Amino acid sequence: MPYYQHIVILTGAGISAESGLGTFRDVDGLWTKYDLNEVATPQGFARNPEFVHAFYNARRTNLLEAKPNAGHDALARLEREVEATVTVVTQNIDNLHERAGSTNVIHMHGELLKVRCHAAHHVMAWEADLDVNTPCSLCTEEGRAATGIPEHLGSLRPHVVWFGEVPMEMDRIYPELNTCDLFLSIGTSGSVYPAAGFIEEVRSRGRAHTAELNLEPSEGQSLFAEKIYGPATEVVPTYVDKFVSALS
């Protein structure tokens, strides 16, 4: 196993599936039960905010009951036990990487346990249910009035990235992709951009080893040098074990 200095790990819903959080595009995934245009677009939220709040309230409750699994634990172990810089770029809005012990996590699609207001974009931690009447406790009356959007005066929305919105922290993510020497993609179908394009970004530099660990081949599988298929709770710990023991 070569010596790596900078490891970037892209994760998706598949790493949290065995913690009981639903994926999106699998046979029983969230997008088979919900129309993504209704619950994961700004237009859907504008049309029916109560419905979107109910969708995220249920997922928040589910997350509060969930626990990190052996896949999350293994990535935290990797960060602890190798000398390399390990960055997890996650598309997931859950906090299971952090709860497993990973300390360098970038949430490109936001965080389920945060909300923000429409008026001043205050972001705050949030574990309770949310509804259209929940006001932003940080907004002043002037701030609310300044939005010019009467129906959104200081009201709150989930701090997540919907289709058509710009993902978060891209200015931190691209430098990571451009300087890593190992890129792992774990538990993602590779069907949502810009994350689906990260493998090409990494390959364009031509210096990083690339590996996909997933239940099944993703849409971008042909672009990865190494492919390992199986449940995240099995393949990720095995991969990390080999990695860590080769270094010791």
Collapsing DSSP to helix, strand or coil, 128 comes out as coil
**Phi, psi of 217, rounded to the nearest 5 degrees:** -60, 135
CB of 56 to ligand BJW, least distance (A): 7
Can 121 be counted among the known catalytic residues?
Answer: no
User: Site mask, ligand BJW, residues 174-203, x = CB under 6 A?
Assistant: -------------xxx-xxxx---------
- Asked if 163 interacts with ligand BJW (CB under 6 A), we say yes
Strand ranges, E, within the chain: 6-11, 85-90, 105-107, 110-117, 123-125, 156-160, 182-186, 209-214, 226-229
- Among 8, 75, 182, 232, the residue binding ligand BJW under the rule CB under 6 A is 232
DSSP string over 67-104 = ---HHHHHHHHHHHHSSSEEEEEE---S-HHHHHT---
Residue 169 makes contact with ligand BJW by CB under 6 A: no
State how far the alpha carbon of 52 is from the alpha carbons of 15, 37, 49, 105, in Å. 24, 11, 5, 26
Catalytic residue among 109, 118, 159, 209: 109
Site string for ligand BJW, 90-119 (x = CB under 6 A): -x-x---------------x----------
Q: CA-CA distance, 94 to 9, in Å (whole number)?
A: 16
Letters for 22-61 (x = contact with ligand BJW by CB under 6 A, - = none) are -xxxx--x----------x---------------------
**Residues in contact with ligand BJW by the rule CB under 6 A:** 12-14, 17-18, 23-26, 29, 40, 91, 93, 109, 160-167, 170, 187-189, 191-194, 214-216, 218, 231-232
The residues annotated with a catalytic role in the active site are 109
